[in-house]
Amino acid sequence: MTSLTPFAGLTPDAVLDAAEAVGLEPDGHLFALNSYENRVYRLGRHDAPAVVLKFYRAGRWSDAQILEEHAFALELAAAEIPVIAPLRLGESTLCHQGDFRLAAFPLQPGGAPDLDTSEARELLGRTLGRIHSIGALRPFVERPTLAGERLGSRARRVVLESGQLPEHMRGRYVEVSGRLLEQIMEVCAAVGAWRAIRLHGDCHLGNILWQAQGPVFVDLDDCLNGPAMQDLWMFLAGSPDERSGQWQELMAGYRRFAPFEHRETRLIEMLRAVRMLNHAAWIAERWADPAFPRAFPWFGEPRFWEQHVLDLLDQSRVLDEPSEFAL
């Protein structure tokens, strides 16, 4: 096992042994769940409900950062906000077993969200407003802040140093991504200093379970300090008119529990650009992990990079246009 292949030794027997060692009393039933950054399993237990067992990628977060994530989830759960918070295993929510760090979470039922159903976005906005009202009480100390290199410059450097970018696309990528970084900084300067609060950080439909009473948020692995818009923009899709209506529905629920500064709406396309840059860098940085070539086989093909540069160019053009939510 190396830092590039941190889960090489995580066999089913190793998972079950770790679960036994932390007192979860596994019954031998183990099912791998969809996850790339970490490794996540549904674990059956003797005479107890099944749990979700999560093994953290080595070298990504420190113990202090993971524990701060756990504390945030527990704080939200204590306020009766629907999030999946970690279980205490002995004296902590984070355990060490050999080379691995793991945590357990209650297994929750739920389906995929359908935000086009009646009042779904308003209910989603209300829950996010409650999360942000707690998140605004104090900042993370150990977790990162969405600023500086996290706004795309590190991602660009990772791609350029990865060896994945085809040589015939290198010059064009340098040009287009460089201009996009300039535009990102221009938007930040135009919006001015925003209120940085504790956020979910990776807030999209794949990290929500929908139950009869509404959304349940899972996976705070990317939680950080940042603008409220970071947890809101990915729930907008479609034409400008459709996005405007969706935004009004979200805000109808959100503003019942948390304030929102309208100038942050100018961050939407900037945050989309940052995510585009970061996503390509994330795969490039993890390419030695066998799970990534299996999951993203197209990433190693020249046509992916040709399309990626075209997508970045399109996003650069969008950033040159007036914001649909501009004051």
Amino acid found at 91: E
Please tell me the distance from the alpha carbon of residue 113 to that of residue 151, in angstroms, as a whole number: 29
Distance between CA 241 and CA 225 in Å, rounded?
A: 30
Catalytic one of 13, 17, 114, 219: 219
Q: Choosing from 202, 221, 231, 289, which is the catalytic residue?
A: 202
Residue 202 known to be catalytic: yes
Active site residue 13: no
Neighbours of 32 (CB within 10 A): 11
DSSP-derived pairing of the beta strands 39-45 and 48-55: antiparallel
Residue 117 tokens read as 């159903």
Q: Which residues pair with 43 in a beta bridge?
A: 30, 51
Residue 327 CA to its chain's centroid (Å): 29
Contact (Cβ atoms closer than 8 angstroms) between residue 299 and residue 209: no
CA distance 83 to 209: 10
Q: Which residues pair with 258 in a beta bridge?
A: none
Q: Kindly list the catalytic residues.
A: 202, 219
